[in-house]
Amino acid sequence: MAVLPIRTVGDPVLRTPAVPVTTFDAALARLVEDMIETMYAAPGVGLAAPQVGVGLRVFVYDVGYSPGDPAVPRHPRVVVNPVLTLDEETPLGEETPLDEETPLGEETSAGEETSAGEGTGEGRAEDVGGADGTGGADDTGGAEDAEDAERGVAEGCLSVPGLYFPTPRAWRATVRGVDVSGESVEYTGQGLAARCFQHECDHLDGILYLSRLTGAARVAAVRALREALPARGDGQSAGSASAQAAQGASAFGRS
């Protein structure tokens, strides 16, 4: 297994919808293994294939581990060609075309996940900084509730490092797809797990989470990203930094 470089905002692959997987072979299995290794190394609780430069509809996740405690078991899961279903009674942040994108990452509470045939349990990712993911749960084990989802728990994303903003999401969601062998899988989650499913499926549609932001959070995110991108352009010309900032601005919408 290998730790892969994670693509960051401004890279066109993050705004390009991924294509369905049609070949289930050793190359796909190796990609999934590398994605899992990369997710844990980040560390994060989820990672989509476009984030490592691969335009396939694949994501991996694990909302129950603790990077600071190796005694906590790790249970990585993969969903290939996922189909996302949201609980219609829970809030959802709609995508709005603006000019910027962001990360999935840090969350303050754990989510409950139910896997078909595997029972239920609380997912916890203490001190996990957004993997493309929804980030770390606190050590109280409290679950995010529907009210938290409506007002928006802070999300971040490995593809937009260091930025976290309140993001409205449906509190409960189900994802259906297949595994690396083409066998059907189905997972239902709430709180952190549901947020993770939505965040990763957005990546597969070429959407960064900043497109889900509203109001003051959206304004703050646009400003923060425009300020952050030139700062990362050490050694670049002013023109190059400006071009990079423009790319970051366009990341909010799928132009």
pLDDT per residue as tens digits for the range 43-84: 999 999 999 999 999 999 999 998 889 899 999 999 999 999
The domain spanning residue 206 has which CATH number? Answer: 3.90.45.10
104 part of a folded domain = yes
% of the chain residues with pLDDT over 70 = 64
255 part of a folded domain = no
Mean per-residue pLDDT, 194-218: 93
| 228 or 243, higher pLDDT | 228
Does 196 show up as a binding residue in the annotation? Answer: no
d(CA 101, CA 157): 9
Confidence band, pLDDT 50/70/90 cuts, at residue 1: confident
Does 199 show up as a binding residue in the annotation? Answer: yes
| 136 or 188, higher pLDDT | 188
71 part of a folded domain = yes
What lies within 8 Å, CB to CB, of 21 at 6+ separation is 28, 56, 57, 58, 80, 81
Task: Tell me the pTM.
Answer: 0.73
d(CA 132, CA 199): 8
Q: Angle CA(17)–CA(22)–CA(28) in degrees, nearest 5? A: 90
Pick the range with the lowest mean pLDDT from 37-46, 82-91, 182-191: 82-91
Mean per-residue pLDDT, 153-174: 91
> At residue 245, does pLDDT exceed 80?
no
Catalytic residues: 200
> At residue 234, does pLDDT exceed 80?
no
Does 203 show up as a binding residue in the annotation? Answer: yes
pLDDT of 88 reads 64
d(CA 125, CA 169): 19
4 part of a folded domain = no
> At residue 231, does pLDDT exceed 60?
no
Q: Which of these, 123, 157, 155, lies nearest to 42 by C-alpha position?
A: 157
Domain span holding position 19 = 12-250
How would DSSP label each residue in the chain?
--PPPPP-TT-GGGGSPPBPP---SHHHHHHHHHHHHHHHHTT-SEEEGGGGT--BSEEEE-SS--TT-TTS----EEEEEEEEEE-TTS--PPP---S--------SSBEEEEETTTEEEEE--BT---SSS---B-TT-PBP-HHHHHH-EEEEETTEEEEEEEE---SEEEEEEE-TTS-EEEEEEETHHHHHHHHHHHHHTT--GGGG--HHHHHHHHHHHHHHHHHT-TT--HHHHHHHHHHHHHTTS--
Confidence band, pLDDT 50/70/90 cuts, at residue 254: very low
Mean per-residue pLDDT, 218-226: 86
34 part of a folded domain = yes
What lies within 8 Å, CB to CB, of 48 at 6+ separation is 18, 58, 59, 132, 200, 203, 204
Quote the number of domains for the chain: 1
Mean per-residue pLDDT, 193-203: 97
Structure-block tokens of residue 137: 């749960």
